[in-house]
């Protein structure tokens, strides 16, 4: 079974969390793309979806799924999205595709966050995947110095601008033993928009595609 097969299996398992009507939130990335393609097969029952990125909005529209502005949607029943790393406690690193801020907003607006991933994303300690931090461009150097003082090695994501017009610092060299504390500490830095730790609000359900089927953690 390939990694893509495992992503697809996790995406398929998430379909059972899609309500019989209403609007859901949809994430960004290769695993979320599998979910969107599957969602298209049951689109008749949905009123639409809130997208966590421009790329996801375009994919939803290509499938004929109406894209709804979050401000018009109210509270969403469920948000389905991938992750770059996950623990058994359902704390996550996200933002490898740079969509972390809108992802965190849509997750916060949803009653339930269902995370879909292949088993290769499961780790004991978060941090081997460089932690993305979205920063207002003029604060890039200031925030980089503060992160260095915390023991991280921030690297500017070259040639990349987020959907919100900001830059990403990918922070290497972290061993994140207390993800909630680090998420809060980074959020307190002036100039930081969001960081890719989803720990204060982690996934409510984690669906991991494995060689032996889909493992569910909740």
Ligand X SMILES: O=C[C@H](O)[C@H](O)[C@H](O)COP(=O)(O)O
**Residue 103 appears among annotated catalytic residues:** yes
Alpha-carbon gap, residue 145 to 119, rounded angstroms: 34
List the structure tokens of 25: 């939130």
Q: Which is nearer to ligand X, 32 or 205 (CB)?
A: 32
* Interface mask toward ligand X for 94-123; x: CB under 6 A: xxxxxxx--x--------------------
Q: What is residue 88's DSSP assignment?
A: T
Which residue is catalytic, options 12, 16, 103, 153?
103
Comparing every residue's Cβ against ligand X, the nearest one is: 29
> Minimum Å distance from CB 189 to ligand X?
20
Return the range that interacts with ligand X (CB under 6 A); candidates 40-48, 75-83, 133-141, 199-207.
75-83
Whether residue 48 contacts residue 23, with contact meaning beta carbons closer than 8 Å, is answered with yes
Q: Annotated binding residue at 97?
A: yes
Residue with tokens 């493992």: 215
What is the smallest separation between the CB atom of 21 and ligand X, expressed in angstroms?
A: 26
83 is in an annotated binding site: yes
| Per-residue 3-state assignment (H helix, E strand, C coil) for the chain | CCHHHHHHHHHHHHHHHCCCCCEEEECCCHHHHHHHHHHHHHHHHCCEEEECCHHHHHHHHHCCCCECCHHHHCCEEEEEECCCEECCCCCEECCCCCCHHHHHHHHHCEEEEEEEEEHHHECCCECCCCEEEEECHHHHHHHHHHHHHCCCEEEECCCCCCCCCCEEEEEECCCECCHHHHHHHHHCCCCEEEECEECCCCCCEEEEEECCEEEEEC
Question: According to CB under 6 A, which residues from 8 to 47 bind ligand X?
Answer: 27-32
Q: Is 81 annotated as a binding residue?
A: yes
Least distance from C-beta 106 to ligand X, angstroms?
11
30 among annotated binding-site residues: yes
Stretch that binds ligand X, among 9-17, 63-71, 90-98, 160-168 (CB under 6 A): 90-98
Provide, rounded to whole angstroms, the least separation between the CB of residue 44 and ligand X: 26
Q: Which of 81, 134, 163, 170 binds ligand X (CB under 6 A)?
A: 81
Residues at the interface with ligand X (CB under 6 A):
27-32, 81-84, 94-100, 103
Query: Binding site membership: which residues?
Result: 28-31, 81-84, 94-97, 121
Active-site annotation, residues: 103
Query: Binding site membership for substrate: which residues?
Result: 28-31, 81-84, 94-97, 121
């Amino acid at each position: 079974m390939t990694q893509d097969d495992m992503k697809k299996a996790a995406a398929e398992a998430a379909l059972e969390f899609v309500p019989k009507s209403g609007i859901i939130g949809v994430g960004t990335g290769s695993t979320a793309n599998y979910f969107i393609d599957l969602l298209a097969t049951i689109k008749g029952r949905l009123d639409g979806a809130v997208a966590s990125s421009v790329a996801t909005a375009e994919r939803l529209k290509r499938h004929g799924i109406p894209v709804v502005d979050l401000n018009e949607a109210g509270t969403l029943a469920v948000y389905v999205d991938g992750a770059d790393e996950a623990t058994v406690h359902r704390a996550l690193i996200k933002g490898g595709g740079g969509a972390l801020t809108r992802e965190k907003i849509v997750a916060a607006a949803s009653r339930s966050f269902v995370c879909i991933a292949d088993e290769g994303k499961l780790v004991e300690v978060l941090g081997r995947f460089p932690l993305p931090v979205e920063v207002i461009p003029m604060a890039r150097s200031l925030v980089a110095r503060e992160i260095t003082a915390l023991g991280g090695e921030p690297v500017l994501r070259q040639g990349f601008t987020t959907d919100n017009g900001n830059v990403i610092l990918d922070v290497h060299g972290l061993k994140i033993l207390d993800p909630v504390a680090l998420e809060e500490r980074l959020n307190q830095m002036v100039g930081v928009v969001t960081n890719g730790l989803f720990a204060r609000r982690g996934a409510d359900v984690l669906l991991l595609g494995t060689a032996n089927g889909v493992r569910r953690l909740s």
